[in-house]
Structures are given as structure tokens and as C-alpha cells.
Amino acid sequence: RKDLLSLYDLSAEEITFLLDTAEEFKKVSERNVKKVPALRGKTVVNLFVEPSTRTRVSFELAEQRLSADIVNMQASSSSLLKGETLLDTVRNIESLQVDLIVMRHSAPGAQAFIAKHLKCGVVNAGDGAHSHPTQALLDIFTMREKKGALKDLKVTIVGDILHSRVARSNMWGLLKLGAKVTLAGPSTLVPREFEAAGVRVCHNLKDAVQDADVVNLLRIQHERQSAGFFPSTGEYAKFFGLNRQNLRWMKPDVLVMHPGPINRDVELTSEVADGPNSVILEQVTNGLAVRMAVLFLVAGCVKK
Ligand code: CP
């Protein structure tokens, strides 16, 4: 595939191959090898039309470690602001003999749309509330690293599922790999319609987490909540926030995950975020190896 757009498009075998490749890149990093020549001579443009810390820095570092030439484009200082269309923008970028475009955009499907019109590869770094495949891959990589087999692993995702690309991508990837997924949160943020995908929907935190092997907490995305009856941060924290007390309901070895950015004292308290069950920063570390694997495999499929 010349593009990575969504885990929905991938088979279990393709996801496993990506995870195995990331594992090899992680081993190389652990041997303190800072750079490999895998993408020497390739040019990657990082086009972030929405804010990002982890994904942007991690892609940039992954590209550097693979010896690619990199251009970081700020949408806020590009000709997008003068009214140039996204398609014209990326066609112009491609004309500069670029091999890969890594893009984040607020419009669901933006990367799939440009990928259809370009010969260069496109990697989705997050499109609206739709998909964030590399985040889900690094989450699943971390689960596999810590818990072993993903088949029948009980994973509970808690939070603003309705507006979350991370939830959708995790759900698609985990279900393909045979995990048992529960989605939990207030009914306005976790509608029953999700059950059609083959997951359990739960509106009570204790029921959702007490037998979970992994609890992945998601941010309340006020910026995407345009209309509807959504809880305040205080209400959300009271009924769905993780703290030292409700951590006692869970298995002693439960993994607590969060894709970031975290809202301390909303999704979880600092005691939990920085406590022994948390692997939040390990997720970030694993993002580097996962993105190296994605860039390496996608670049290998670009025919220009
Ligand atoms: N998890 C994630 O996508 O974080 P950023 O928005 O900081 O990239």
C-alpha cells in the first residue's frame, strides 16, 4: 500500500506485520543506533493543519532516524491561508519530487481524498474524529509488549468516544486482532450505535473496568463538541475520572493508557497518570518505532 489511511483498511496480518517491523526498529534504537539509512534519498513533507505535539515530533524524529530529507510545513504560514485549496497545495508539494506526505487535518477523509489524486505516499496523522492509525498502532504495540497475545485481551476505552479518532482506530485494530473491546462513558459521548461494530458499550465505570486488562482513557474534546448534551469537566471527572479509589476496582496489573494530551483531574488524577500502572510515556516512546515502521513500509510501496 502506498498510503496508510486507516486501520479499517488493513487485515490482521498487515497490522501484525507493522507491529513486528516496529519491534525490530525498537530493538535497533535500544542498541543505541541513532540512524539507519533506510529512507536515504527520500523526501518527506510533514503537513500539520491541526495542532500536535507527540505525533508531529515523533514523525519528525522517525524520519530523521531513517535518514530521510524532511520539510516541516506550518499550515498557518502557508498559502492555504490565501485560499489555495488543499488539493492544489499537495499537488504543488508533490511536484517538488516529494515521496511521502504525512498530514493531519480536521476534515474526516482529507488524507483519503488527497491520496486518490497523488502518486506519492500519504500517511494519516489524524483526520478529524475519523482515524488516527499510527496512534492506534502504538497503543496496540504497547499492549502487545506488556500483555503478550492480543487475542481475548480485555480492553476498555473510556471517554469521549463519539469525537475520538483514537477510539475508532483502536477499536478497528483491536477487533481485527481478536481483542474484546468495551467502550465506556456518558451515554451522549458513547452512543449504543457503536455496539453494531462488535464492541460492548457501558455507561457505568465500575462495570466497564473491573475485569479489564487494559484501560485506555481518552480526552474530552470540547473543541469538537459543537452541539448536544455533553457533561461538564466536573461532572465527567466525578463519574468517569480514574483516581486512587476507583483504581482499586481493577485488576492489580491493569495497564492504564492515554494517548495524550491528558487533562489532569479530568480523565485521571496525577496519582494514576504517574503511578505504577501507567504506561503513558512508554506509549510515546513506542510511537517512534511504530512511525519508523510505517514510513519504511509505506515508502517501499511508492512507485513514482
Ligand atoms: N496523541 C496525539 O495525537 O497527540 P498530539 O495531538 O499531541 O499529536
Q: Can you give the pLDDT at residue 154?
A: 98
pLDDT score, position 289: 98
Whether ligand 1 lies within 6 angstroms of the CB of 55 is answered as yes
According to DSSP, residue 242 is labeled B
Nearest CA to ligand 1 atom 5: 52
On whether the CB atoms of residues 71 and 48 are closer than 8 A, the answer is no
H helix or E strand, kind and range, residue 112: helix 110-117
Q: How many C-beta neighbours within 10 Å does residue 80 have?
A: 17
Q: What ipTM describes this predicted complex?
A: 0.99
Q: How far is the CA of 304 from the centre of ligand 1 (A)?
A: 31
Q: What is the pTM of this model?
A: 0.96
The fold of the 133-284 domain, in CATH, is Rossmann fold (3.40.50)
Asked if the peptide bond before residue 252 counts as cis, ω within 30 degrees of 0, the response is: no
For ligand 1, say whether the CB of 261 is within 6 Å of any of its atoms.
Answer: yes
Pocket test for ligand 1, best of 48, 53, 130 (most atoms within 8 A of CB): 53
Strand partners, 43: 69
Determine the atom of ligand 1 nearest the C-alpha atom of 104.
8
Single out the residue of 231, 236, 276, 233 nearest to residue 256, CA to CA: 276
Ligand 1 pocket, 54 CB below 6 A? yes
CATH code for the domain defined by 3-131+285-299: 3.40.50.1370
For residues 118 and 87, give the distance between their C-alpha atoms in angstroms, rounded to a whole number.
Answer: 9
Q: List, in sequence order, every residue forming a beta bridge with 73; answer none if it has no partner.
A: 47
C-beta 58 within 6 A of ligand 1: no
How do residues 185-222 score in pLDDT, each as one tens digit?
999 999 899 999 999 999 999 999 999 999 999 998 77
- Structure confidence by residue, pLDDT tens digits, 56-71: 999 999 999 999 999 9
Which positions ≥6 away from 142 have C-beta within 8 Å? Answer: 255, 257, 279, 282, 283, 286
The domain locations on the chain are 3-131+285-299, 133-284
How many beta carbons lie within 10 A of that of residue 200, not counting itself? 15
Cα–Cα–Cα angle for 131, 140, 43, rounded to 5 degrees: 60
Question: Is 135 annotated as belonging to a binding site?
Answer: yes
CB 41 within 8 A of CB 70: no
- Consult the annotation and say whether 104 binds a ligand: yes
Is the minimum distance from the CB of 53 to ligand 1 under 6 angstroms? yes
Residue 224 has pLDDT above 90, yes or no: no
Neighbours of 234 (CB within 10 A): 10
Task: Examine domains 3-131+285-299 and 133-284 and report if their fold is the same.
Answer: yes
Nearest one of 77, 76, 58 to 66, comparing CA atoms: 58
Q: Is 245 annotated as a binding residue?
A: no
Percent of the chain with pLDDT over 70: 97
pLDDT for residue 227: 62
66 CA to centre of ligand 1 in angstroms: 21
- Nearest-CA residue for ligand 1 atom 6 is 52
Is residue 155 within 8 Å of 170, Cβ to Cβ? yes
Q: Give alpha helix (H) positions in the chain.
A: 12-30, 54-65, 86-94, 110-117, 133-147, 165-176, 205-209, 233-240, 244-247, 270-273, 280-299
Identify the band that residue 301 occupies on the pLDDT scale cut at 50, 70 and 90: confident
Centroid of ligand 1 to alpha carbon of 284 (angstroms): 9
Average pLDDT over all residues of the chain: 95
Confidence of residue 225 (pLDDT cuts 50, 70, 90): low
State pLDDT tens for residues 37-55: 999 999 999 999 999 999 9
The stretch 166-173 carries a mean pLDDT of: 98
248 marked ligand binding residue? no
pLDDT digits (tens, 9 = 90+) for 133-168: 999 999 999 999 999 999 999 999 999 999 999 999
Beta strand 100-105 pairing with 214-217: unpaired
